[in-house]
Amino acid sequence: MAASQRPERKYYLPVGLPAPAPHIDGLGKEFWEATRRHELLVQFCGACENYQWGPEFLCHHCHDWDSLSYRRVEPRGRIYSWERNWYPAHPALQTGVPYLVVLVELPGAGNVRMVGNLLGDPEQEVVIGTDVEAVFEDHDDHDPQFTLVQWRVV
């Protein structure tokens, strides 16, 4: 079904998926709090000055345990890789296929890569290297509320 024939949806993917939430260890807490403010944060090591994603207790590069924090980064990047999903990986996605998943490289954060959905026509042509910007998709009707980071072509 072409995107123009799809019913309008409030969210990019159908509702019914489990809501993302920081784990009890709290590694992603600052990231999720920032998305609610429509800010993009990436973990940064003050010891070796490298960015990393996903969040960890120690630096991927220098293995320092004490110098990690989050830094606000520009919510822009470029498509490094992508996949068009035709098969629902969860029952809630039965009406949500196809959808596009992109691996976005963030030049403003040491070229770390972050996964998200590419908004727009799910059958659009996707070109590696295309510039994208973050779109913050608020889910205010959930408890707890959360905001997803999606991507759109600039």
Of the listed ranges 21-25, 39-43, 73-77, the least confidently predicted one is 21-25
Residue 68 counted as domain residue: yes
Nearest to 70 by CA among 98, 42, 89: 42
Tell me the residue length of the chain.
154
Structural domain for 113, as ranges: 21-153
> Is residue 144 very low, low, confident or very high in pLDDT (cuts 50, 70, 90)?
confident
Residue 58 counted as domain residue: yes
Residue 6 counted as domain residue: no
pTM (global) more than 0.85: yes
Residue 10 counted as domain residue: no
- Asked if pLDDT for residue 19 goes beyond 80, the answer is no
Going along the chain, which residue ranges are E strands? 40-45, 50-52, 68-73, 76-85, 99-106, 112-117, 131-139, 146-153
Instruction: Count how many domains the chain has.
Output: 1
pLDDT digits (tens, 9 = 90+) for 122-132: 999 999 999 99
* Average pLDDT of the chain, as a whole number: 91
Average pLDDT over residues 59-70: 97
